[in-house]
């Protein structure tokens, strides 16, 4: 799909993206609050137990594979961190 989208006219893609974002993107304050909460959550005990295994998986698989199968790898890291 990414290859197909990359073949489209850049101006048309930008215009379509702007329309989608206008209708679906939350206000900037909400995005900042969500990001702040996410960063805070990385210090929680559950995340601290999970992150070392997830970081190891990321190093073993590489960023492209990890991104393509993120759900699978998060599940794998969670099972192995218990």
CA Rg, the chain, in Å?
A: 18
Per-residue pLDDT at 54: 86
Confidence check: pLDDT of 46 > 70: yes
Average pLDDT over residues 30-34: 95
- Residue 46 forms part of a structural domain: yes
- Residue 11 forms part of a structural domain: no
- Residue 78 forms part of a structural domain: yes
Average pLDDT over residues 27-40: 95
Q: Is 33 strand, coil or helix?
A: helix
Per-residue pLDDT at 75: 84
Domain boundaries, position 48: 42-82
Model confidence band, residue 82 (pLDDT cutoffs 50, 70, 90): low
Percent of the chain with pLDDT over 70: 98
CB–CB of 57/73 below 8 Å? yes
Long-range contacts of the stretch 69-77 (C-beta < 8 A, 24+): 77/50, 77/53
Count of domains observed in the chain: 1
CB–CB of 51/42 below 8 Å? yes
């Amino acid at each position: 799909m990414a290859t197909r989208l990359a073949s489209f006219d850049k101006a048309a893609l930008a215009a379509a993206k702007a329309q989608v974002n206008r209708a679906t993107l939350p206000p900037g304050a909400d995005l900042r609050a969500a990001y702040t909460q996410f960063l805070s959550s990385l210090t929680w005990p559950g995340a601290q137990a999970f992150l070392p295994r997830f970081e190891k998986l990321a190093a073993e698989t590489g960023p492209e594979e990890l991104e393509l199968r993120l759900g699978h790898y998060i599940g794998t890291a969670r099972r192995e961190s218990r």
